[in-house]
Amino acid sequence: MIFRREYKIEGYVKSDVGTVRENNEDNFLLGRLINRDSRAKQEASFSTWAIGEWNCFGVFDGIGGGEKGELASLFSAQVFEGKGKKLKECHSYKEVELVLQKAFLEANNRIILAGRNSPVCGTTGTILVTDGIAAKVFHVGDSRCCLCREGENYRLTKDQTTAQLKLDIGIYRSLEDATQRERHQLTEYIGRDLTQESLSPEEGEWIDFRERDVFLLSSDGFHDFCDPGDTARILSQGGSVREMADTLLAMALQKESDDNLTVMLVRKIRE
């Protein structure tokens, strides 16, 4: 059953090449919208009253430099955009999970096949799927998803990097012990599985999507340069999702982010 006109799901995304890079290797999925032309600067908005209907949101950060990462993130965004149609046919959480799991493998295999004839490498992929009632995050790489709820910022993903791995097994006491290279060296990414059989995302738990909750999806060009406390403060102040996304992106650029950066917000409000 689809419930309408009580709550609204709205989203906004801004993607920027930044101040150093020559091309934008980030891409996104906002409902059915992606950065089809891999433009240096791109933004899009989303809105629906159809609570009870599945929608998918994602951030993809290409790796490999030049055209390699740009194509990998675009291919992945296209695959997940196509899977959005399949979500309309889902009637259970399990069916939704299977669609998303298959999407990660399909994106991986498209990158592998394309890489045989062109310089395509890989990409991160952080996906939020929700029907406006419940939500779940699927994740590969070091793009992130956070939930801002009642002024607190909750991180829902863990970076899949060499630095995080060494921290988890006790080699490091904190991430500050890691080298800059280790902090950005991915242990998992879409396009890594050359067998084309076994890539699977890290999955969170299903959580309630409450009124005034704000999900933030971002590439590392944003979250490497912005304090979580500052981010939570901006998201708690209210305003439109566009205004908040503008403020967050500007904050990262002011802190001299040296990478492509993408900021996506998805919020539930009553109107």
Condensed to tens digits (0 to 9), the pLDDT of residues 212-231 reads 999 999 999 999 889 889 99
Q: What are phi and psi of 235, to 5 degrees?
A: -70, -25
Residue 22 is predicted with a pLDDT of 85
Residue recorded with tokens 């503008």? 246
CA–CA separation, 147 vs 132, rounded Å?
A: 14
pLDDT digits (tens, 9 = 90+) for 153-174: 999 999 999 999 999 999 999 8
* Residue 254 scores a pLDDT above 80: yes
Rounded mean pLDDT, 22-36 = 95
Q: Give the percent of the chain with pLDDT over 70.
A: 96
Burial 153-187 (b: 16+ CB within 10 A, else e): beebbebbbbbbbebeeeebeeeeebeeebbbbbe
Rounded mean pLDDT, 92-115 = 95
Residue 58 is predicted with a pLDDT of 98
pLDDT confidence bin for 41, thresholds 50/70/90: very high
Residue 27 is predicted with a pLDDT of 98
* Residue 1 scores a pLDDT above 60: no
- Contacts from 238-242 at CB under 8 Å and sequence distance 24+? 240/12, 241/10, 241/11, 241/12, 241/45, 241/214, 241/265, 241/266, 241/267, 242/12, 242/45
Residue 217 is predicted with a pLDDT of 98
Q: What global pTM score does this model have?
A: 0.95
Q: For the chain, what is the mean pLDDT? A: 92
CA angle, residues 92, 30, 156, in degrees to nearest 5 = 65
* Residue 2 scores a pLDDT above 60: no
261, with CB counted inside 10 A (0-12, 13-18, 19+), is buried
Residue 66 is predicted with a pLDDT of 59
Rounded mean pLDDT, 58-63 = 96
Residue 114 is predicted with a pLDDT of 86
* Residue 271 scores a pLDDT above 80: no
